[in-house]
Amino acid sequence: MDPSQAFSMRVDDREASSPVLAALRRHPEFQIQVERLPVGDYLIDDSLLFERKTLMDLAASIKDGRLFAQAERLASAGPRGALILEGTAKDLTESRMRREAIQGALVTLTLFFGLPLLRARDPDESARLMLFAARQHRSFARGAIPRHGKRPRGKARLQSHILQGLPRIGPERAKRLIEHFGSIEAVIAADAEALTAVPGIGDAVAESIRWAVREIPTGIYSPTFPSWSRTMAQGAIKKVVLAYSGGLDTSVILKWLQEEYGCEVVTFTADIGQGEELEPARAKATAAGVKEIYIDDLREEFVRDFVFPMFRANAIYEGEYLLGTSIARPLIGKRLIEIAAETGADAISHGATGKGNDQVRFELTAYALNPDIKIIAPWREWDLLSREKLMDYAASRGIAVEMKRDGTKSPYSMDANLLHISYEGYDLEDPWVEPGADMWRWSVAPEDAPDQPTLIELMFERGDCVGIDGQRMSPAEVLAELNRIGGANGIGRSDIVENRYVGMKSRGCYETPGGTILLKAHRAMESLTLDREAAHLKDELMPRYASLVYNGYWFAPERLMLQAAIDATQEVVNGVVRLRLYKGNVMVVGRKSETNSLFDASIATFEEDAGAYDQKDATGFIRLNALRLRVAGRKGRC
């Protein structure tokens, strides 16, 4: 046979011992090369891709969940995919798989994944089927492909029908694309960034669309896809590190990553003082097939390197929010990047939604620390755009999740760490509704707090609290103890409507008992030890610093610059502050610094100062400062 007329056959090296490969070698029309394929078992002319399964393997892959993950990869690959089912009815009988389960799987593969199913009795017939397919493919490539059946009536239905020919575009995504762009022409012309502006079209789907319109220049079907291997190599993600809590969102994401990307997932769970047992997350990850599981105790690093530097700045966002969630994200993002480097992962993933701030915080951190890292944000790609849909997805795949709050509503979305616990969603989505008393977890209601006040003393060194009531503690121990004391006294509750970085307003409730006490005490210590102008300049810079933290710019040059200036002021913030805690209130009742106090009682006294301060000096001071006001007053401008 003329070699130029032969079919190129690339066989996955995991099929090297298969009798099908031996049967293929008996057909001189195939030029065979064995190598590792990213998807499928047999690739003909870079255009037809086959996954071959014996019926026994089909039954096993239904049981262990591999089948639909493989089907998704096969259906979304560039070449046309098909599944060859090899074996006899006897094989199915021996598998002891229920007939209904087999039928359900076949319906899903054909109707919902759009995969053709080809039946073969044995390896020889499987080889012949692929040869027939190769010949038909080449024959059709010489002319137009006949399209049978009635065309959809109406322009909108026809447009939807056409768009559904693109990879990973079903009826819902097709509808959204048309509604957003207005025409098929605009969809085809759109770049990836414009496509991702459509709800449900994430980076991966957008790239699939761009790939299709770039690489299929002559209509819906083209006989060859010359850059498929290159595209797959560039886009393939082999291992991803997932920020994993074991809750609803990240449990669904773990399964979704395995199915959608077909990649290995490394889970990372951070212990930053959320007060939950973390070993169940390990058990869940193990049950999901995860081999590399990280559960890291980051409590000391969190408070020492993130919370304390922020409190040196007295940072508070929009006058109320103590940034409890915001300050945890750069630490988690930093550790994600470190684990990716340790495990050789080429991507990270998180469970932040496309509406919130956390997506920005995680990803700005990641790109600052590794500019070339790939990031998978499932909420910007999938169609599971409500908590109810997540619940349904989890139930359909046997993913265990916490019980709902009641039969119809989802529970609050909560985030906790050593600094705070937050509550969003559920009835809080109406800013007029008062939170229920049973929502709060860390603190008693102020009216139920003890009738006797609690007195405590906080020790400061270089702006950081290093002990309570004369007992030195580590940073994490300090914050944990202040949370305990503050919560018992009804301190730290807040109900806020804040402005998210992405542009919307959001209502959240927070408990920050330790942080509330710490901020009050730190400002009291600064009031005694800082120079007036240094203190005032800090206060001017604070809103900018708080916005940088809130918006995710922890590792940005401007935040680092501000931190260096702030830390320089803290060298003198040393001493002790005494506080009275009573029914939700924090009152400063004393402060002292043996080494750095700028308070001079001999000058400040209302009694005889023995000449320490000459009150006559005030006359010239006032006249000089009044000069511009007197000039303006004479001109009638005051």
Q: Which residues are annotated as a binding site?
A: 243-251, 270, 321, 326, 351, 353, 357-358, 361, 413, 422, 498, 510
Q: Are 163 and 177 in contact (CB under 8 A)?
A: yes
Tokens found for residue 479? 């914050």
Residues in the chain: 638
What angle is formed at CA 481 by the lines to CA 471 and CA 522, rounded to 5 degrees?
75
Q: Which residues are catalytic?
A: 249, 329, 358, 413
Instruction: Name the helix (H) or strand (E) containing 34.
Output: strand 30-35
48 forms bridges with which residues in the sheet?
A: 44, 80
Torsions phi, psi for 312 (to 5 deg): -60, -30
Q: Are 484 and 454 in contact (CB under 8 A)?
A: no
Contact partners, residue 49, CB within 8 Å, separation at least 6: 39, 40, 42, 43, 74, 77, 79, 80, 81, 82
Instruction: Name the helix (H) or strand (E) containing 591.
Output: strand 585-592
What DSSP string runs through 239-266? EEEEE--SSHHHHHHHHHHHHHT--EEE
| Nearest alpha carbon to residue 37 among 29, 22, 26, 48 | 48
Contact partners, residue 433, CB within 8 Å, separation at least 6: 427
Residue 563: strand, helix, or coil: helix
Q: What is the DSSP letter of 273?
A: S
| Nearest alpha carbon to residue 240 among 168, 347, 145, 361 | 347
Q: Are 358 and 352 in contact (CB under 8 A)?
A: yes
Radius of gyration of the chain (CA): 33
Residue 335: strand, helix, or coil: helix
- CA–chain centroid gap for 184, Å, is 32
User: What are the binding residues for L-citrulline?
Assistant: 321, 326, 357, 361, 413, 422, 498, 510
Tokens found for residue 164? 């559904």
